Amino acid sequence: MSNNLHNELRKEFQLERLILFSDAVFAIAITLLVIEIKIPEVHENVSDRTLLIELKHLLPKFAGFIISFMLIGLYWSIHHRMFGFVTNFDNTLLRLNLFFLFFIALMPFSTGFYGEYASSDLFEKHLKVPMTFYVLNFCCLGIINYLIWLRICNPKYKLADPPVDKQIAAFAKARSMLVPLIFLLMLPVAYLADVLYAVYVPLLIPLILKIAKRKSFKKK
């Protein structure tokens, strides 16, 4: 009996370490986002007008920061909810979580890369590579998030006790793919229409997620 209790406590401690480590990565990534936005340096003819012009040049970086901040926050809340079901873990879940955190940690770079080359001075060049890199970062996050949900919600792996409710599992898996699919929509818009229009696509995320949630939990 004491051995069983010891094993349970050890498992709970290891799971807590995994969650704390994940929270630390999220916290660092979300903090590093703002470091990419440098304070404008105006050494001559400093005035409110010149400062406003410099701030205008930073608008794409602020846009990238806001979108990334909100989505990292969304993924943190999803991760928090996801691991709220977990009572056990295996090596596969551990590896999937590390891959997930890898792409979370990459977010400050992809956001900075996108923001740097989407500045107002370069926007007219219609550079698509930075946006593509940014979009693929989110797509990878969504795919791995989906795989983690698949693992947790599958009763045969015994990672959640009690098992995740089927309706909750179905919505969670659908939502995990909706976000990357919406981001993926940015690419055809950017390549076939204009990069300028593509930056507005993520604004659809809250609306589509709300509709998906309402339909998923609609009483039959």
Confidence grade of residue 49 (pLDDT, cut at 50, 70, 90): confident
pLDDT, one tens digit per residue, over 90-114 is 999 999 999 999 999 999 999 988 8
- How high does pLDDT run on average in the chain? 86
Predicted pLDDT at 159: 94
What total number of domains does the chain contain? 1
pTM given for the model? 0.87
Max CA pair span of the chain: 77
What does the alpha-carbon distance between residue 92 and residue 96 come to, in Å, rounded to a whole number? 6
Confidence grade of residue 4 (pLDDT, cut at 50, 70, 90): low
Contact between 37 and 58 under an 8 Å Cβ cutoff? The reply is yes
Q: Is the pLDDT of residue 48 over 90?
A: no
pLDDT, one tens digit per residue, over 191-216 is 888 777 787 888 888 888 888 888 77
User: Which residue did the predictor score with more confidence, 51 or 2?
Assistant: 51
Range of the domain at 96: 2-216
Confidence grade of residue 220 (pLDDT, cut at 50, 70, 90): very low
pLDDT, one tens digit per residue, over 127-171 is 788 889 999 999 999 999 999 999 999 999 999 989 999 988 988
What does the alpha-carbon distance between residue 74 and residue 80 come to, in Å, rounded to a whole number? 10
